[in-house]
Amino acid sequence: MDRVFIEGLEVDTVIGAYDWEREIRQCLRLDLSLAWGNRPAAATDDLNLALCYATITARIQAFAEQARFELVETFAERLVALLMAEFNIPWIRLKLTKPGAVPAARGGVGVEIERGCL
């Protein structure tokens, strides 16, 4: 199975368990790998057969805009479920980083999940 990837996508959302976090928007950084059969699109040069990064990115940004979760785990699970259902994606790996959540962790902290079958 081929994979389409989106790396370093930054979205702002309400995320966190502390009261002060519920009052602000924070940045999350997403790295996604999405299973997709690229051969039909490549054989015909037909955009309609490709997994469109722009469409996926816009959907992720819209999701983040509306999201109001305490846990990054919840954000990750709900986003992956939504993408799999709406775009018929059989497998996704998502690395979600919350930069600055732990000041000593220069690269950030977060979760990485993998759902579906290749």
What 3-state DSSP class applies to 44?
helix
Strands 109-116 and 91-98: antiparallel
Please answer whether residues 13 and 28 qualify as being in contact, where contact means their C-beta atoms are separated by less than 8 angstroms: yes
Q: Is 98 tagged catalytic?
A: yes
Identify any residues that bridge with 71 across adjacent strands, giving them in sequence order. none
Per DSSP (E only), the strands in 16-71 are: 26-35, 68-69
Catalytic residue among 56, 60, 98, 110: 98
Q: How many residues are listed for the chain in this entry?
A: 118
Catalytic residues: 98
